[in-house]
Amino acid sequence: MRFLLSVLLICLALPGQAECRADRVDLRGVWGQAGFSVEVAQTNRERAKGLMFREELPKGQGMLFVYPFAHQVAFWMKNTLIPLDMIFLSSDGRVTYVRENAQPGDLTPVSGGQDVRYVLEINGGLARQIGISEGSELRSPFVVQSLAAWPCSE
C-alpha cells in the first residue's frame, strides 16, 4: 500500500511529465503551440526508410528521426510519394532549419546544418501554415532533458 501511495504522489508531483510521451512531440514558438503524433525512427534502418512509399500522412502526424549525437545531416526524397516539411533540430530541441515542401522523388540532398540531432517530418506546407520556424522549441522525451530548451517537466 505504501508503495502505491508513493507512486501516486510522484505522479501528482510531475504533471508535465505525463504529457511528454514517446509517441508525441509538441512544438512552441512566438506563433503558439502545436502537437503531433509521431512514429520514431531511431535505428539506422528506420531512419533510412523514413516515410518512403507512404501514399498519405494524416494531418497531425509525422516522423521523428532521432540520432545518438549531433552531426551534419542531409535528407532526400527518394521513394517518397508525398510532399514533406523537414524540421531540423539541435541537441536542445531548438529548430535550426525548416525545409518547406520538399517534393516527392527529389534526389537533391537537403542539409540541415552541422549540429542536427533530431529531424521532424510533417506534411508539406504545414510548418508555414502553423508558423514553425527557426528558434521554435520541441518537447519530447527523446530530447536529453538536461539540455532541453523545453523540458518535459514544464
We report the CATH number of the domain holding residue 39 as 2.60.120.1140
Give whole-number Cα distances, 26 to 19, 72, 83, 101, 154, in Å: 9, 24, 21, 20, 12
Residue 92 counted as domain residue: yes
Residue 31 counted as domain residue: yes
Q: How many domains does the chain contain in total?
A: 1
Residue 154 counted as domain residue: no
Residue 127 counted as domain residue: yes
Q: Which domain holds residue 40?
A: 20-139
Residue 112 counted as domain residue: yes
- Mapped onto helix, strand or coil, the DSSP state of residue 52 is coil
For residue 98 the three cell numbers come to 525548416
**According to the model, what pLDDT value does residue 131 have?**
98
**According to the model, what pLDDT value does residue 19 have?**
81
Q: Which residues of the chain have pLDDT under 70?
A: 1-18
Residue 152 counted as domain residue: no
